Amino acid sequence: MPEGAPAVSDQAPVAVCKSADLLEAGRAVSFDLVYGGQTCRAFVIRFEGQVQAYLNRCSHVAMEMDWQLDRFFDDSGRWLLCASHGAAYRPDTGACAGGPCKGGLIRISVSEVQGVVFWHPTYIARSLEF
């Protein structure tokens, strides 16, 4: 199974934010999860009306991409940029679109139900347990 692909999980979907919090090609909403045993940040955005979520980890160097919190889109609103060295990713798929990326972003499964955005844990992407 490809990395980040949805899989059955024993954990329930986790609410991230209200749908209205995500404007088209606007600021992201970040959330924490445990990915492959490590606590990581992820982010959800809206692009072409759909919500998409990715691990906040550049494929060039495994570091977070937003120097300005929750700002991932370039000025055109067409690409997600890594602030470190300018890797560009497609907002709809997370695929590399240019720059030094070495593959795409890791996708997190999300849904939108009755005005609320949820992310869906898998066996590799787990919700934080307290």
**Is 78 or 102 the residue whose CB approaches ligand FES more closely?**
102
Q: How far is the CB of 65 from ligand FES (least distance, A)?
A: 6
Q: How far is the CB of 105 from ligand FES (least distance, A)?
A: 10
**Is 77 or 86 the residue whose CB approaches ligand FES more closely?**
86
Given the rule CB under 6 A, which residues bind ligand FES?
Answer: 58, 60-61, 63, 65, 82, 84-87, 99-100
Lookup: tokens for 17? 């934010």
**Is 106 or 117 the residue whose CB approaches ligand FES more closely?**
106
**What string of H, E and C letters represents the secondary structure of 37-65?**
CEEEEEEEEEECCEEEEEECCCCCCCCCC
Q: How far is the CB of 122 from ligand FES (least distance, A)?
A: 24
Do 105 and 59 form a contact (C-beta atoms < 8 A)? yes
Using a 10 angstrom Cβ sphere, with 0-12 exposed, 13-18 middle and 19 or more buried, the burial of residue 9 is: middle
Q: How far is the CB of 48 from ligand FES (least distance, A)?
A: 24
**Is 27 or 60 the residue whose CB approaches ligand FES more closely?**
60
Lookup: tokens for 119? 């992310």
Strand order through the sheet with 110-113: 14-18, 116-119, 110-113
